[in-house]
Amino acid sequence: KLKEFPDNFLWGSSTSAYQVEGAYDTDGKGLSVQDLHLPENGNTDFKIASDMYHHYKEDIRLMNELGMKAYRFSISWSRVIPNGSGKINEAGLKFYDDLINELVKNNIEPIVTLFHFDLPLALYKKGGWNDRQTIADFIDYSKLLFNRFGDRVKYWLTINEQNVMINHPNAVYPADAELPSKKKLYQQNHNMFVASAKVMDLCHSMILDGKIGPAPNITAIYPATSAPEDVIAADNWESIRCWLYLDMAVYGRYNALVWNYLQEKGYAPTIYPGDMEIISKSKPDFLGINYYATATVKAAKNDGHDCQPRNGDQQVMLGEEGVYRSAQNDNLKMTKFNWIIDPVGMRTTLRRIYSRYNLPIIITENGIGGEDSLNEDGKIHDKYRIDYFKQHFLQTRLALTDGVDIIGYCPWSFEDLVSTHQGYKKRYGFVYVDRSDSDIKDMRRIKKDSFDWYKKIIKENGSN
Ligand code: BGP
């Protein structure tokens, strides 16, 4: 028998600051690395994005209408501290004060990500996460937020998709930047582990009833066949892509196999005195998990071709020479943007996470991007999105039934926003925003069919 979603389940939705807010230089905001993505492909515009900065009241009215119990969003570091360290921008803090007050007024639980891909440009220029000073700056920034919002914000997320930042660095670097070596990336990774551990401790000491956790992108990795070598390849990639991050957050130690791999490859970071003590003593209260799609791999051949890009599938990260090679999975369909659709993989992923870590889980992202457009009848018929969520909600319920402790689900995204690479061409929202890549139009908000469907699901607490 299927288990019901718990009564206080946090049905929500997600966004991130640079993808929705716009107002990129308004009221004293400093630049972030994402603002430099402006001209990428000539179509991605983070300057105005969905202009939530000026529409937040209207947006929260819609959240209320949707019946949302929680809203997961991020704070723009360079809006509140324009240079990443030093001078504070009161106008930026006030914007988030107003936003949070409006949420609380509407009985919507704020779930706040401290850092979602948008490092202040000034810090990037000083070396970004390769500079140990960035750890201290991140702590000062977090202290400011805990102090100011800790009375109203009880759920915090440390760093969004740290594993994507390391495995797909082009998502977080200015378009024309030279990407760092793997060795440098793994040093950044280590520095972010230290920063996350410190910030979890800080949250616990400053907000007594506060809860904090990481938000990596986690997915089960399938072996392409039952050949034992393929199984090892899948195990390798799952450890490097997923368990490295959660083992650090929960157990406070490097996954032994991954540490061995880092050393073998010459990627192992320098660990500074005291780092591991800090990491081992902090603990998350829950795990935020972003899930989009599974990946499938086969044994590496170490023939110089393990890293070759595969056609189509955008979500499979490239192979790693001598470790694994990405493979096609003919059992699964793909979205129009070539992302694998695998609802059962979500159940598998949730089960694997829970059996390893035994901590409550909030699904902090999951969703489908498509080319939605306004129909002649003035509506947006996104049936494919309803089908997608129907299946993913069911698999989540099956995971609950299996015994996984899931406490919230925040689909990506509340409203259309600027996708990291495809701009406004690829839309994720329950709410349509009337603009295109090149044409700002009037930014009108229009409920999609999926909005009405999700509203009903929330009202009935997940039964469909
Ligand atoms: C996640 C990010 C989000 C969001 C989402 C969809 O990796 O945390 O910021 O963008 O993926 O990805 P995309 O915009 O590339 O389609």
Q: Is residue 187 part of a domain?
A: yes
The pLDDT value given to residue 422 = 85
Average pLDDT, integer, range 331-339: 90
Q: Which residue has the higher pLDDT, 423 or 314?
A: 423
The pLDDT value given to residue 313 = 57
Picking from 115, 74, 118, the residue whose alpha carbon sits closest to that of residue 96 is 74
Instruction: Answer yes or no: is pLDDT of 118 > 80.
Output: yes
Q: What's the whole-number average pLDDT of the chain? A: 94
Instruction: Answer yes or no: is pLDDT of 48 > 70.
Output: yes
Percent of the chain with pLDDT over 90: 85
Using one digit for the tens of pLDDT, what is the confidence trace for 129-165?
999 999 999 999 999 999 999 999 999 999 999 999 9
Q: Is residue 144 part of a domain?
A: yes
Average pLDDT, integer, range 307-325: 74
Instruction: Answer yes or no: is pLDDT of 268 > 80.
Output: yes
Q: Which residue has the higher pLDDT, 453 or 320?
A: 453
Atom of ligand 1 nearest to the CA of 171: 15
Is residue 365 within 6 Å of ligand 1 at its C-beta? Answer: yes
Q: Is residue 4 part of a domain?
A: no
Atom of ligand 1 nearest to the CA of 164: 7
Average pLDDT, integer, range 426-450: 92
Amino acid at 222: Y
Residue matched to tokens 């690479």: 421
Q: Are 52 and 24 in contact (CB under 8 A)?
A: no
What is the total count of domains within the chain? 1
The pLDDT value given to residue 464 = 60
Ligand 1 centroid – CA 15 distance (Å): 9
Q: Is residue 191 part of a domain?
A: yes
Which residue has the least CA distance to atom 14 on ligand 1?
419
Which residue has the least CA distance to atom 16 on ligand 1?
419
Using one digit for the tens of pLDDT, what is the confidence trace for 163-218?
999 998 887 887 678 889 999 999 999 999 999 999 999 999 999 999 999 999 99
The pLDDT value given to residue 421 = 82
For residue 328, the enclosing domain spans: 10-459
Q: Is residue 360 part of a domain?
A: yes
Per-residue confidence at 310, pLDDT binned at 50, 70, 90?
low
Cite the active site residues. 365
Q: Is residue 295 part of a domain?
A: yes
The pLDDT value given to residue 225 = 97
Using one digit for the tens of pLDDT, what is the confidence trace for 2-36?
999 999 999 999 999 999 999 999 999 999 999 87
- What are the tokens at 428? 């994720």
Q: Is residue 126 part of a domain?
A: yes
Domain of 45: which CATH number?
A: 3.20.20.80
Residue 323 and residue 76: Cα distance in Å, rounded? Answer: 37
Q: Is residue 3 part of a domain?
A: no
Instruction: Answer yes or no: is pLDDT of 274 > 80.
Output: yes
Per-residue confidence at 437, pLDDT binned at 50, 70, 90?
confident
The three-state DSSP-derived secondary structure of the chain is CCCCCCCCCEEEEECCHHHHCCCCCHHHCCCEHHHHHCCHHHCCCCCCCCCHHHHHHHHHHHHHHHCCCEEEEECCHHHHCCCCCCCCCHHHHHHHHHHHHHHHHCCCEEEEEEECCCCEHHHHHCCHHHCCHHHHHHHHHHHHHHHHHCCCCCEEEEEECHHHHHHCHHHCCCCCCCCCCHHHHHHHHHHHHHHHHHHHHHHHHHCCCCEEEEECECCCEEECCCCHHHHHHHHHHHHHHHHHHHHHHHHCCCCHHHHHHHHHHCCCCCCCCCHHHHHHHCCCCCEEEECCCCEEEECCCCCCCCCCCCCCCCCCCCCECCCEEECCCCCCEECCCCCEECHHHHHHHHHHHHHHHCCCEEEEECCCCECCCCCCCCCCCCHHHHHHHHHHHHHHHHHHHHCCCEEEECCECCECCCECCCECCCECCCEEECCCCCCCCCCCEEECHHHHHHHHHHHCCCCC
Per-residue confidence at 280, pLDDT binned at 50, 70, 90?
very high
* Substitution site in 365, 368, 425 for ligand 1 pocket (most atoms within 8 Å of beta carbon): 365
333-334 and 340-341: which strand pairing?
antiparallel
Is residue 416 within 6 Å of ligand 1 at its C-beta? Answer: no
Is residue 419 within 6 Å of ligand 1 at its C-beta? Answer: yes
Amino acid at 143: K
The pLDDT value given to residue 223 = 97
